[in-house]
Structure 1
């Protein structure tokens, strides 16, 4: 064996230190040692296998290389009590399928399981793992060198949420989904042209049921084979980076499905999940809940998180369903859950896991972000662990989303009775580092598209949607918009169909698309709209009390105070002439964005490019602007002195 091959084998062998960290729950790179690794031993090409199955009577590797014969290549249990079975199997080649035949000590249970650490799987509905190497030559050096700045909390972050299987499809080939390499350049060019800074991918981790959108995961170390190989997915990430677009991965450590080849009942016992269904089974989702109190399970999940950052250059992890992890009674009635040792409903093990996760991620990659989908008022989600927080970089603002959509659904004549739905968000806007999400969850299960939620006739619906986006892009917080929303898709999202790209032949849809692009590009270059998203000195109300007219006006300010943007929203279809708005400075205020402009599909009302401030006091300020407020519209003004 040459020295390189010998070193490769040694690097794949579990050491005593690995076992110590594994059993302690702190090993964050188990994927380097566990699973299947193609190596050469004694001059023979093959693969080393290692799998955790502490309650197994026997474990064998079955696959294409041994005609799926369970007697051909048994693994051997380590004698250190770790529960790991390992061994070398000769003549295993790249791409060959395999599983573990696990015979349990309990109930004579026997099952063929996929590899929890597999880098690649068969294309569903096939369920075997594949032997695979992750070699790839990256070309995103410029992005990686600059991403600390691009991912910073003071940076402009506008996220385009994408489901790869339904963004575009190929009508000439049975309307199949695009492969990773096919979608790479079109998606990258589109996101860049639209001004988005990041793409967030609904889970690409391998999952058996396409209709789960990736949220029922069986392969925590593998991109789904539906769209290509691991290297094909690397090419997609690489291409997005070369176009200046960051990649956020939707990651699901909260639950997993009960499919027979997956993690559930892995060695004939409840290994990864709690044995008690009151703790280990999710009644709403019909899936299993990880046992975060088990050290080896924590190490498995920590390793998955670091894996995507290590091997795929992922720029952020959006952690799904954090609330379901934090609360023992999540989705459960009285008597259906087990209190913690203090009698409370907080999942203490999950809290410790999430804190450890964020500490490890930011220690290894201070230039990425973790983002929590957390739908409750749990305190300090996006605050450092040393201050008592959970340690996430950011958190989805679900309260803002629900209140804003509820308000926008109202007929404008009734909006004055719901004005507080708009103003309430500022009371808590700076307690967390918030992302404002209009995500996939708001356009499925009969909820309709964002456009269909808007009241009024067709013109008013489009005007309301432009108004919603203008208000959202001006509100403190980073931005997230699900695909199709940027051009006003009419029907709700269908995961097994393409987006309604054909509607762009109609001017009103093209107007929405242009409006979102212009919002993004102004947001990118205007520090007042992004530098101080998470502190109150970047925001100032002008008038939040004009409930009768359903208007809002506020200021956004840059960190150094040199850049100021005035935002005025009119949430009624009534044009308001000679509307007085107080401003902090005299001089000219240029109208930089107007959602009612003709080329967006509006009526063309506005302020002829800008207004000179008059020395007339209003709203507690010494100067004011006399404005024309177009119907159902938002105006942005920039002070130019």
Structure 2
């Protein structure tokens, strides 16, 4: 065993000082296990432990390798005993004398569950080939670009015949081409970090620096990201900095005292999710979590992070258990609020083009926008209100939709309050909520017609897009985390046509700047008629930078075909139908598009010109100006 020098190297000393002050954003560079000159140095932060031993395959898991604690509460040992691939843990004699095996919080690889020992795994430095993608991203304003995200649970996208899930080497071969074929711009994974229970979907983590071994090796995920970038697909990852797994041999009360968690038990215990809340005001915890985020961005070249459960981080009363007001008597969790501002500030300073997204369900705190204005500094927020209203509406019998038309249109009132992502996510297709397809009213044919209608509204409503896997072809069964998707559905002509519809709609979205070019401003949309509750038809215009670059969207929410349907148009001229959800190739019955519509001088609301067309039952149309006089007024 190598003796510890009396005088530490200055960089290491500064790293430890910065870790304790909450300013070390690369803590994994000195904490955890590190190989140098055929010896491993192990370091773990456990300031109140009485003693820590390194245990593993290499010493039969006994107490033969004690570690030494420094003035910063960090235990360290250097030894030549371990070998690549060995398992290890830290045996911690906690503050009260209790001894327990604990994981390495900074491990980058673990054994496959149900075990949770860390694996000594050296990842060779990768020679990345995605420079063109990364360089282009630095020059692009993502707010003014299309963003259409395919949300994936990595281990249930596809299974082998023996029931085993695909790993990332196999996903590189099959998922990447599928993303290209389906015309998505991004893929987003539910948490990929190590977690001991599959049914938590990765939202109760133990390894904040480790790709779950259930999904493959770190090298395989690096190669997957590179393949996505070479095919112009961005990669986003869910991340959970609010709470962690309650398992005793992982992070909870690591040294026997509240170390990663709050001192107050009511704040530490997350009753709703059966987990433990991070003390987000603690400097060392801030170093730990921000280092984790930076690690995933830099080591894996990911393009964005979706921060899960932000509401639970910024409100003390979000949980189901007892709560204590803050010093001002309110419910705001100031520690969480300032941590998220710090997180976004650090990441944006180092990587301005990396997307930061929040899954947040309240409207009391500004989530997106400049930190200087009091916002949390995220780029995007999930629009949970839109999602809840829209799904309630589409589940409803059309007889009642006219009286509840505000569910369809209310989002127009607040759509610019934040930079929104419209999420049709995994949360909406589990636990008895039914799949998107199964939510739709009516018989099977009408369900497909409405799903096409819903997706058209989803794609033409301002906001970036996110759709959970399987929804693209109308899978009828709810998502099951431990089974592959129902790919057999695609043998059915209606499912196959639905998949084709989604791929073409995704391409239509990418091809039409009117759907994303001015999305930061109300200039992006003009409502034609949001008051037609008798016929239950919604119409609006999406606009690009140029006068002639606009699309007219008409959505019929009833099973009644609307012949001779009149709407106002911004300019006199002719309008061509470029999208019709009832075309035969999409699973509908129409074999031809509506003819070109010529405007007349029949006034419609504030419009001096209008057109008539036929709107299919439960169908959606999009029209484009063919030849118009932009010098005329509405």
Normalising by the smaller structure, the TM-score range is over 0.9
Alignment of 1:77 onto 2:69? yes
**In structure 1, distance between residues paired with 2:618 and 2:9:** 62
Regions of 4+ moved over 3 Å: 10-14, 148-151
SS at match of 1:288: strand
Partners of 1:323 and 1:330 within 8 A in 2: yes
Distance 1:137 1:542, change over 3 A: same
Alignment of 1:623 onto 2:615? no
Q: TM-score, length-normalised on structure 2?
A: 0.96
Equivalent in the alignment of 2:503:
517
Alignment of 1:348 onto 2:334? yes
* Pick aligned residue for 1:18 from 15, 20, 28: 15
| Deviation of 1:274 (Å) | 1.5
* Pick aligned residue for 1:475 from 443, 461, 469: 461
**In structure 2, distance between residues paired with 1:338 and 1:14:** 41
**In structure 1, distance between residues paired with 2:183 and 2:304:** 19
Equivalent in the alignment of 1:320:
308
Equivalent in the alignment of 1:358:
344
Equivalent positions of 1:367-446 (< 5 A) are 367-446=353-432
Distance 1:301 1:258, change over 3 A: same
Partners of 2:548 and 2:625 within 8 A in 1: no
Equivalent in the alignment of 2:630:
none
Equivalent in the alignment of 1:3:
none
**In structure 2, distance between residues paired with 1:380 and 1:394:** 11
Equivalent in the alignment of 1:332:
320
Equivalent in the alignment of 1:119:
108
For structure 1, which segment, 155-164 or 585-594, has the greater mean C-alpha deviation from structure 2 after superposition?
585-594
| Deviation of 1:64 (Å) | 1.8
| Deviation of 1:586 (Å) | 2.1
Equivalent in the alignment of 1:143:
133
| Deviation of 1:606 (Å) | 6.8
Kindly provide the CA deviation profile for residues 68-93 of structure 1, in whole angstroms up to 9, marking residues without a partner as x.
2222x2211113xx211112121432
* Pick aligned residue for 1:506 from 472, 478, 492: 492
Alignment of 1:295 onto 2:283? yes
Alignment of 1:48 onto 2:41? yes
Partners of 1:552 and 1:569 within 8 A in 2: yes
Kindly provide the CA deviation profile for residues 510-543 of structure 1, in whole angstroms up to 9, marking residues without a partner as x.
1211111111101111100011223111111000
For structure 1, which runs of at least 5 residues remain unmatched after alignment? 1-9
Equivalent in the alignment of 2:188:
200
**In structure 2, distance between residues paired with 1:450 and 1:621:** 36
Distance 1:126 1:47, change over 3 A: same
Kindly provide the CA deviation profile for residues 202-242 of structure 1, in whole angstroms up to 9, marking residues without a partner as x.
10000000111111100000100012111111111111111
SS at match of 2:244: coil
Partners of 1:605 and 1:630 within 8 A in 2: no
Equivalent positions of 1:433-472 (< 5 A) are 433-472=419-458
RMSD: 1.6
Distance 1:433 1:576, change over 3 A: same
| Deviation of 1:423 (Å) | 0.9
* Pick aligned residue for 1:191 from 179, 187, 190: 179
Partners of 2:544 and 2:550 within 8 A in 1: yes
Aligned residues: 620
* Pick aligned residue for 1:575 from 548, 558, 561: 561
For structure 2, which runs of at least 5 residues remain unmatched after alignment? 1-6, 628-634
**In structure 2, distance between residues paired with 1:557 and 1:577:** 26
**In structure 1, distance between residues paired with 2:407 and 2:157:** 32
Partners of 1:203 and 1:251 within 8 A in 2: yes
**In structure 1, distance between residues paired with 2:333 and 2:465:** 30
Kindly provide the CA deviation profile for residues 247-266 of structure 1, in whole angstroms up to 9, marking residues without a partner as x.
00000011111112210111
Partners of 2:85 and 2:120 within 8 A in 1: yes
**In structure 1, distance between residues paired with 2:390 and 2:492:** 27
Partners of 1:110 and 1:268 within 8 A in 2: no
Partners of 2:604 and 2:610 within 8 A in 1: yes
| Deviation of 1:610 (Å) | 3.1
For structure 1, which segment, 257-266 or 610-619, has the greater mean C-alpha deviation from structure 2 after superposition?
610-619
**In structure 1, distance between residues paired with 2:240 and 2:352:** 21
**In structure 1, distance between residues paired with 2:173 and 2:552:** 37
Kindly provide the CA deviation profile for residues 451-477 of structure 1, in whole angstroms up to 9, marking residues without a partner as x.
110011111111111110001100000
Equivalent positions of 1:500-579 (< 5 A) are 500-579=486-565
For structure 1, which segment, 94-103 or 483-492, has the greater mean C-alpha deviation from structure 2 after superposition?
94-103
For structure 1, which segment, 85-94 or 516-525, has the greater mean C-alpha deviation from structure 2 after superposition?
85-94
Q: TM-score, length-normalised on structure 1?
A: 0.94
**In structure 1, distance between residues paired with 2:471 and 2:510:** 19
Partners of 1:606 and 1:629 within 8 A in 2: no
Distance 1:12 1:539, change over 3 A: farther
Equivalent in the alignment of 2:117:
128
SS at match of 1:15: helix
SS at match of 1:233: helix
